[in-house]
């Protein structure tokens, strides 16, 4: 819909209605003014007629002329028996053509009964001008004592009544016209502002349709358009969240495809490599026994392969359609021992001091999903070692946390591992989205480690959170389990 057509939809009905109302007011004003003017003229002529009827002296021509001079009204007396005019103030008014124009309205109806025409105002053309006339019975003609009553006809020019009608008409007519013009300008101004606000909304909706979900500033009064703008902004925000959710879903689907495809290939390759190394160890027992307390090259290779197996386990955890990973219960001490065996050589290689802490009475506490917890913690501690760098420290602390009874099984227990490193923390540009897939600041990184650990925590009824403290970055991995 174009801008002009929208404005016309506002203005055409409104101005059309105003014009019709103005025309109706003008018509009513004209009818009222004409009726009022006729009523005033009739009363004026009636008063003159009553004055003449009550006069104690004969209405001679000189008397009628004097009445005409002070009243401005022409007076004619008609004798219906003789059908002649008597005592006319101006005989020039009565000629052959105008006589019938006067007589016919007087004697019309009632079989020539003059009383039927009393108080009836009629218009007659006389001597090239138009007059308003009123007939009044006057009694017998003075020259005769018998016969029908004479008729007094009072006349006044119709132009006087028309001027009175115009004076009474133009004031409301001009008021209506001025009001219509003022309302038209006011309506055009209001419509222009409304159309401008709607145009801004249209441009915003078009931007949303093109994929730009930026919210727009809202101005104007708190009306329906303001509420519509607020709704459009809310829709824009919801669409942006929906788009982000779709992107995350596509990333998750891609992760599922990668995990499903890589897990099978890596598992077969690692299985073959581990079998060959174990065969080599059996065939060279002296190499497997040297260096008591130290890991030789073969043990380190086997250790790294076990880390690769844990990575495959995490990928399989991220895959919703992948193979079901079998898990086994482990105690907290076993979890720490396995993590220590995997990571001591890595920490030593990076020059990082690695330590595990926990309350002694919780060391034997069993965890149903022990291997999954090891895989999640393994990834978090490896990231912490890389972040701490040479000379840094990494501490993994385990503790039991109280569980709120609201919405939780009373027999459930919450276990929290706090991984604290002395590194500089995540880069500011990825800090808000660090737990999302494919978000990483490492040039060689993929960005799947933290999302995998977060998924494991959620599957175990817990969560993965992080916070930047002074001189330290802290990740908290929580799970919630029933006792084994």
**What is the tens place of the pLDDT at every residue in 12-66?**
787 788 788 878 888 888 888 888 888 888 888 888 888 887 878 777 778 888 8
* Share of residues in the chain with pLDDT > 90 (%): 10
Gyration radius (Cα) of the chain, Å? 55
Compute the distance between CA of residue 57 and CA of residue 64 in angstroms, rounded to an integer: 11
**In-domain check, residue 196:** no
Which residues partner with 421 through β-bridges?
394, 473
Phi, psi (5° rounding) for residue 139? 95, 180
Phi, psi (5° rounding) for residue 466? -145, 160
**In-domain check, residue 263:** no
pLDDT for residue 11 is more than 80: no
Query: How confident is the model at residue 93, as a pLDDT?
Result: 58
DSSP summary character for residue 390: T
Tokens of 352: 């990082």
pLDDT for residue 2 is more than 50: no
**In-domain check, residue 221:** no
Tokens of 44: 């004026």
Q: Give the CA diameter of the chain.
A: 174
Mean pLDDT over each residue of the chain, to the nearest integer: 77
Last residue of a domain, which of 165, 183, 201? 165
Last residue of a domain, which of 115, 131, 165? 165
Compute the distance between CA of residue 27 and CA of residue 49 in angstroms, rounded to an integer: 33
CATH label of the domain that carries residue 472: 3.30.565.10
Angle, CA 381 vertex, CA 380 and CA 383 arms, to 5°: 65
Query: How confident is the model at residue 467, as a pLDDT?
Result: 92
Compute the distance between CA of residue 303 and CA of residue 299 in angstroms, rounded to an integer: 6
| SS3 state of residue 245 | helix
Are 353 and 392 within 8 A, CB to CB? yes
**In-domain check, residue 361:** yes
Look at 7-16, 293-302, 363-372 and tell me which has the smallest mean pLDDT: 293-302
pLDDT for residue 166 is more than 80: yes
- Give residue 137's domain range: 26-165
Residues 6+ positions from 314 with CB-CB distance below 8 Å:
375, 376, 379, 448, 449, 452, 453, 456
| pLDDT digits 0-9 by tens, 445-466 | 667 778 888 888 988 889 999 9
**In-domain check, residue 278:** no
CATH label of the domain that carries residue 156: 3.30.450
CA dihedral 314, 315, 316, 317 (to 10 degrees): 50
Domain count, the chain: 2
Query: How confident is the model at residue 484, as a pLDDT?
Result: 53
**In-domain check, residue 437:** yes
Last residue of a domain, which of 144, 165, 186? 165
Residues in the chain: 484
Q: Which residue has the tokens 């609201």?
A: 406
For residue 276, how many C-alpha atoms fall within 13 Å in the half-sphere facing its CB? Answer: 8
pLDDT band at 478 (very low <50, low <70, confident <90, very high): very high
Compute the distance between CA of residue 384 and CA of residue 378 in angstroms, rounded to an integer: 10
More confident residue, 88 or 432: 432
**In-domain check, residue 82:** yes
Q: In what order do the strands lie in the sheet with 413-421?
A: 353-358, 393-401, 413-421, 472-481, 463-469
**In-domain check, residue 464:** yes
Helix H or strand E encompassing 479: strand 472-481
What is the pTM (predicted TM-score) of this model? 0.45
Phi, psi (5° rounding) for residue 140? -60, 155
pLDDT for residue 160 is more than 80: yes
């Amino acid at each position: 819909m174009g801008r002009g057509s929208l404005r016309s939809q506002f203005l055409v009905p409104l101005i059309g209605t105003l014009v019709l109302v103005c025309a109706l007011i003008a018509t009513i004003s004209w009818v009222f003014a004409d009726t009022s003017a006729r009523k005033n003229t009739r009363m004026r002529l009636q008063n003159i007629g009553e004055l003449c009827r009550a006069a104690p002296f004969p209405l001679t021509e000189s008397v009628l002329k004097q009445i005409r001079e002070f009243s401005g009204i022409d007076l004619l007396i008609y004798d219906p028996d003789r059908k002649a005019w008597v005592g006319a103030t101006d005989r020039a008014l009565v000629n052959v053509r105008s006589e019938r124009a006067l007589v016919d309205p007087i004697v019309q109806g009632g079989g020539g009964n003059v009383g039927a025409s009393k108080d009836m105002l009629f218009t007659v053309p006389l001597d090239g001008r138009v007059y308003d006339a009123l007939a009044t019975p006057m009694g017998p003609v003075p020259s005769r004592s018998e016969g029908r009553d004479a008729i007094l006809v009072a006349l006044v020019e119709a132009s006087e009544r028309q001027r009175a009608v115009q004076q009474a008409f133009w004031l409301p007519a001009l008021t209506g016209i001025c009001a219509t013009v003022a309302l038209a300008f006011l309506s055009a101004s209001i419509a222009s502002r409304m159309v401008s606000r709607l145009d801004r909304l249209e441009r915003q909706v078009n931007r949303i349709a093109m994929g730009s979900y930026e919210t727009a500033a809202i101005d104007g009064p708190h009306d329906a358009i303001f509420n519509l703008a607020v709704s459009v902004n809310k829709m824009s925000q919801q669409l942006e969240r929906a788009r982000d959710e779709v992107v995350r879903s596509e990333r998750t689907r891609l992760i599922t495809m990668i995990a499903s495809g890589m897990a099978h290939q890596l598992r077969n390759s690692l299985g073959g490599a581990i079998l060959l190394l174990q065969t080599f160890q059996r065939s060279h027992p002296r190499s497997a026994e040297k260096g008591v307390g130290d890991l030789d090259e073969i043990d380190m290779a086997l250790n790294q392969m076990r880390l690769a197996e844990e990575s495959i386990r995490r990928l399989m955890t991220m895959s919703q359609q992948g193979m079901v990973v079998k898990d086994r219960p482990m105690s907290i001490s076993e979890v720490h021992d396995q993590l220590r065996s995997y990571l001591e050589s890595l920490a030593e290689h990076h020059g990082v001091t690695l330590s595990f802490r926990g309350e002694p009475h919780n060391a034997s506490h069993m965890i149903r999903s022990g291997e999954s917890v090891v895989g999640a913690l393994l990834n978090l501690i490896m990231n912490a070692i890389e972040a701490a760098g040479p000379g840094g420290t990494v501490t993994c602390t385990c503790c039991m946390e109280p569980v709120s009874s609201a919405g939780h099984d009373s027999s459930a227990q919450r276990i929290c591992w706090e991984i604290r490193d002395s590194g500089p923390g995540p880069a500011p540009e990825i800090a808000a989205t660090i737990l999302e897939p494919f978000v990483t600041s490492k040039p060689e990184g993929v960005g799947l480690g933290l999302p995998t650990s977060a998924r494991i925590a959620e599957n175990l009824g817990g969560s993965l959170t992080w916070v930047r403290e002074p001189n330290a970055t802290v990740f908290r991995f929580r799970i919630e389990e029933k006792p084994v």
